[in-house]
Chains A and B, each alone.
Chain A
Amino acid sequence: GESVGLHLPTLSVQEGDNSIINCAYSNSASDYFIWYKQESGKGPQFIIDIRSNMDKRQGQRVTVLLNKTVKHLSLQIAATQPGDSAVYFCAESPSYSGAGSYQLTFGKGTKLSVIP
């Protein structure tokens, strides 16, 4: 079946360095992609999203890159800070068909640890 997965389950990064978290997806119908951050004991928090008609989108210290050719999504965090330590999830969804729900499929997550 279709799935969303992550290349690296854990990532340790020195404070101040850039972090790159990767995600592979297999559903060719995926149209919308989201990155969430989840801190320990909290719910997932929206970071940034991107649609399939874009290759890159930037936010504050974060950039999402989408490579549709190889079905790959990445999250780049610039100047990583201790507060960035969390589990990061990618999620994807096909275009909403008007029936059912806008169902996100989540990856299993990558744990980012920032070394002070």
Chain B
Amino acid sequence: TAGITQAPTSQILAAGRSMTLRCTQDMRHNAMYWYRQDLGLGLRLIHYSNTAGTTGKGEVPDGYSVSRANTDDFPLTLASAVPSQTSVYFCASSADPDGTDTQYFGPGTRLTVL
């Protein structure tokens, strides 16, 4: 079972360019999440989706957008990248958003914005 896959593995992006980070899960989980991980700050929630067709803002949503057209995919888009968005991005999913199910994480995308 693949679980959660993310693409690309890493990317160097010029400031001002747009980019979409892809996330796909094959567990039929209802809830999906995007986090960024920065040294000294831990994991911070960017956006989430409790079920297909719905999304919400997390702790640090500015500069990012998401969509959830179906259960499996939850892409994260940076419309105009800035250097402060240099980070490692993790996608996660859980069966339900109600706290009774564990969040499982993908392998991450390392993004560098120059």
Contact = CB atoms under 8 A, between A and B. Distances in A.
A106 B58 CA distance: 13
A53 B18 CA distance: 46
B42 A106 contact: yes
A45 B29 CA distance: 17
A91 B50 CA distance: 19
B7 to A, nearest CB: 14
B104 A101 contact: no
Given A101-B33, A104-B45, A106-B42, A44 B102 contact: no
| Size range of the chain A interface in the assembly | 20 to 34
Contacts of A45: 105
B56 A89 contact: no
Given A31-B99, A96-B99, A102-B98, A46 B104 contact: yes
User: Could you say which interface size class chain B belongs to?
Assistant: 20 to 34
B99 A89 contact: no
A101 B40 contact: no
A44 B45 contact: no
A42 B98 CA distance: 26
Given A31-B99, A102-B97, A43 B105 contact: yes
Interface of A: 31-32, 34, 36, 41-46, 49, 89, 91, 93, 95-96, 98, 100-104, 106-109
22 contacts: A34-B102, A34-B103, A43-B92, A43-B108, A44-B43, A44-B90, A46-B102, A91-B43, A93-B99, A96-B98, A101-B48, A101-B56, A101-B97, A102-B31, A102-B94, A102-B98, A103-B45, A104-B43, A104-B103, A106-B44, A108-B41, A109-B42
